[in-house]
Chain A
């Protein structure tokens, strides 16, 4: 069975985590390391996907600055999203050639990991056709945005555990998007660490790999 190195990084700055995952993806492409799963939590940040539109960011720089939110354009798929405390963020760095050469299969598998994780906490979640992510009663509980280069994945998913959902308002124009939700809003008061451990277990099962726990690496290696 393949092994996958688990790195639980705790609360980490977006820029720092980005640098780390990019460095790990580069090493993975060169075959220097095996598959990785980064699980972490960000400070308030709004990120824009490669195909995202600035018009989906409703708040101006001044408003964001006053609210203590940073802003980063990134190279992942998907549109604008928010990350912040109480949200479990996962960045799998996998070489899909060793699993399945199938990007849609990959996204569906990530959704399955999250659906199975939520089921353990008594939440029935599912998919909505053509709307990537994980949904509970028409509300989005987890978002997905992935970058792929030579079949090596980076970026990943964000699951709202106890996220303060009001922060999503900064990226909703006209209030026309589908609403978001969190485990807490659904009445499940779960600890981020507990969700993280449960999710890691399902990740190993769905992706058929053995998770190897590692001491947290807070700085990008090789620097």
Chain B
């Protein structure tokens, strides 16, 4: 007899629960009142005991899914531990699989199913159904469940083989975690949740980092009055300097030289001149930071993090490049120390490295401005009524208009631009 296991109601106002963990696998025996799965509701994790003793035959809700109360999450086949073979008479009394359509049986597979004599233990309805559908002789399948019972996995393994071969002895490790019945590698027709064709969506909970980024971005949009100004910068001198020295930097220091430390150095100089850009807002007060600590946005596989170069104005291009390489590398390998992502007073995001010409970044709270660096491209420009080819990049500054007016924002970017356009400082 099958018993449905449902999502319990954990309080009068509670209408749903999140299934966080299966404590038993399909095919496993479970005692009455033994913990069967765990659910999570509002910071409370609850172990749910099995309502009956038997074999967990089907798991209908996978881990991480939220379902409404009284949803059937699993089925338990009651009746013993499966050690005693089912009496032959009882088996014979069951109707033959007359309902099954009768395709020509595959070679060497007898058309009869449920020849119970050789089959160890009772069979779950799922296994019976699969046997009917595939017209299988269950006595040819080696059971790996409790007491040699044939499980769904055994049938799948049998089906995966060339027709008619008996299954191999059970391997020590089961092939796949059974608690996740989603997306079986083949034969969706035998999935416990019968989907009609391919599912049209896939639902996946956000990672904690994703949730925090989402929270922070919306918080920032809600907090600041975002304005973005975009300036065109002639990077030709910087490009020449980089071209002249990058081989030497690579040889002497072992890292490659990018445009980012040049922009960072220019931004640090401009921040010194315009302290209001290097500030934050606290209630009705303006906090001016005496240290210039520049955060560099680093893209991670599934998110982003902004490690901070402390006292960035005290470093030259080489020192900045070294700090960027070190912080970005450790950000990607998750080796950053907590203090290394804190205390930033201004941020730079280098979307140019992904091919973007310009973008309007979101301020990294509680800062009041962020500088975006676009890709550096050779462009025809007009100089003294002649057309010249120059290396051009767009710098975009998003600033908080609560504190910074447009004029100051543009003066700041102009200063950054002048430092870059008149670049003369040696790198090596």
Q: Bound state CA distance, A107 and B13, in angstroms?
A: 13
Query: A104 is contacted by which of B41, B45, B49 (Cβ under 8 Å)?
Result: B41
Instruction: Decide if B305 is an interface residue (CB 8 Å cutoff).
Output: yes
Instruction: Decide if A53 is an interface residue (CB 8 Å cutoff).
Output: yes
Q: Bound state CA distance, A106 and B13, in angstroms?
A: 12
Instruction: Decide if B252 is an interface residue (CB 8 Å cutoff).
Output: no
Q: Interface residue count for B (Cβ, 8 Å)? A: 37
Taking the closest CB of chain B, its distance from the CB of A21, in whole angstroms, is 15
Q: Is the Cβ of A132 less than 8 Å from the Cβ of B45? A: no
Q: Is the Cβ of A77 less than 8 Å from the Cβ of B213? A: no
Query: B43 is contacted by which of A53, A56, A105, A145 (Cβ under 8 Å)?
Result: A145
Q: Is the Cβ of B337 less than 8 Å from the Cβ of A59? A: yes
Q: Is the Cβ of A148 less than 8 Å from the Cβ of B338? A: no
The residue in chain B whose Cβ has the minimal distance to the Cβ of A157 is: B43
Which of B124-132, B204-212, B380-388 makes up part of the contact surface? B204-212
Query: B13 is contacted by which of A55, A79, A104, A177 (Cβ under 8 Å)?
Result: A104
Q: Is the Cβ of B45 less than 8 Å from the Cβ of A147? A: yes
Query: A75 is contacted by which of B45, B207, B306, B336 (Cβ under 8 Å)?
Result: B45
Known A51-B40, A144-B43, A169-B342; contact A176-B11, beta-carbon cutoff 8 A: no
Which of A32-40, A95-103, A115-123 makes up part of the contact surface? A95-103
Q: Write out the residue numbers on chain B whose beta carbons fall within 8 Å of the beta carbon of A56.
A: 208
Taking the closest CB of chain A, its distance from the CB of B298, in whole angstroms, is 10
Known A144-B43, A146-B45, A173-B305; contact A102-B335, beta-carbon cutoff 8 A: no
Interface of B is mostly: mixed
The residue in chain B whose Cβ has the minimal distance to the Cβ of A148 is: B46
Q: Bound state CA distance, A103 and B12, in angstroms?
A: 9
**0/1 interface trace, chain A 175-210, chain B, CB 8 Å (1 if under):** 111000000000000000000000000000000000
Query: A60 is contacted by which of B208, B335, B339 (Cβ under 8 Å)?
Result: B335
Give the residues from 16 to 54 in chain A that come closer than 8 angstroms, CB to CB, to chain B: 49-51, 53
Instruction: Decide if B10 is an interface residue (CB 8 Å cutoff).
Output: yes
Give the residues from 2 to 47 in chain B that come closer than 8 angstroms, CB to CB, to chain A: 10-14, 20-21, 33, 35, 38, 40-47
Instruction: Decide if B403 is an interface residue (CB 8 Å cutoff).
Output: no
Q: Write out the residue numbers on chain B whose beta carbons fall within 8 Å of the beta carbon of A1.
A: none
The residue in chain A whose Cβ has the minimal distance to the Cβ of B340 is: A58
Q: Write out the residue numbers on chain B whose beta carbons fall within 8 Å of the beta carbon of A76.
A: 45
* Contacts from B to A (Cβ < 8 Å): 10-14, 20-21, 33, 35, 38, 40-47, 49, 207-209, 212-213, 215-216, 304-306, 334-339, 341-342
* Contacts from A to B (Cβ < 8 Å): 49-51, 53, 55-56, 58-60, 63, 75-79, 100-107, 132-133, 144-150, 169-170, 172-177
Given A53-B207, A104-B11, A149-B47, 14 more pairs with CB closer than 8 A: A50-B40, A50-B45, A59-B338, A63-B337, A102-B11, A103-B44, A105-B12, A107-B43, A146-B43, A146-B44, A149-B46, A150-B33, A173-B212, A174-B305
